[in-house]
Amino acid sequence: MSNQPLAKGRVCYASEYYATNEIDQQTKKPKMKARYATLGRATMWPAERQGEPPQISIDLDSLPIGSNGSLKMMVFWDQPQQQQHPQQPAPPQQPAPQSYGQPQSYGSFGNQPQR
């Protein structure tokens, strides 16, 4: 078993939703998109025993202000070519930058998107 992580990523939640200029053909309403805020980091580790799923550790750096009740969080895995050890990458759910900051395609709380 290797002590190297299989993948790294960011733990995010949808901080707000906004309407786009695209119209949904079925509902005739604007399509909605989400702005994501980063809450922390996720690391995928190899399974301790053969045949078990990999382990995922989550380090939360912050929590949303005023949240009470359940909170849906998502993990955006970094692209395999950005990993230090790409021989066993996990398939990415969505491309993400190596830094654990805000996703490049989304602004947050009125800030301009990062470039």
pLDDT tens figures, 72-90: 899 999 977 555 544 444 4
- Exposure on the CB side of residue 82, measured as CA atoms within 13 A: 14
Model pLDDT, residue 2: 64
Helix (H) or strand (E) holding 44: strand 30-45
Residue 55 in any domain: the answer is yes
Residue 99 in any domain: the answer is no
Residue 58 in any domain: the answer is yes
Q: Which residues of the chain have pLDDT under 50?
A: 85-115
Residue 57 in any domain: the answer is yes
- Could you tell me which residues are beta bridge partners of residue 9? 42, 77
Residue 61 in any domain: the answer is yes
Terminal Cα distance for the chain, rounded = 38
Overall number of domains in the chain: 1
Residue 31 in any domain: the answer is no
Residue 78 in any domain: the answer is yes
CA distance 16 to 96: 19
Residue 56 in any domain: the answer is yes
- Among the listed residues 53, 52, 101, the one whose alpha carbon sits nearest the alpha carbon of residue 76: 101
